[in-house]
């Protein structure tokens, strides 16, 4: 597993970049199989599609939770 990378910025702030699990998998496959640039491009595209799928799952869950809290009965106030 990759360790977080630390980078210095011009303002002397330290920024930590966490490795992406999808990227780690792609790097491991690339190193162990010695894959071609064409296969590498397919893996890059699949990583992007996987992240889009995760985003859609989260959006659906947020929508479901948002709608669940709006149940109730309106009462007219005189």
Q: pLDDT, tens digit, for every residue of 1-43?
A: 445 555 555 566 777 777 788 888 878 877 888 878 888 788 8
Q: What is the pTM of this model?
A: 0.44
SS3 for the chain, per residue? Answer: CCCCEEEECCCCCEEEECCCHHHHHHHHHHHHHCCCHHHHHHHHHHHHHHHHHHHHHHHHHHHHHHHHCCCCCCCCCC
Q: Is the pLDDT of residue 63 over 50?
A: yes
Q: pLDDT, tens digit, for every residue of 47-59?
A: 899 999 999 999 9
């Amino acid at each position: 597993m990759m360790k977080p990378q630390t980078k210095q910025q011009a303002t002397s702030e330290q920024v930590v970049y966490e490795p992406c699990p999808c990227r780690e998998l792609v790097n491991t496959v690339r190193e162990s199989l010695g894959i071609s640039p064409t296969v590498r491009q397919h893996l890059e595209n699949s990583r992007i599609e996987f992240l889009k799928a995760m985003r859609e799952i989260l959006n659906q869950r947020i929508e479901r939770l948002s709608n669940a809290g709006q149940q109730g009965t309106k009462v007219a106030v005189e």
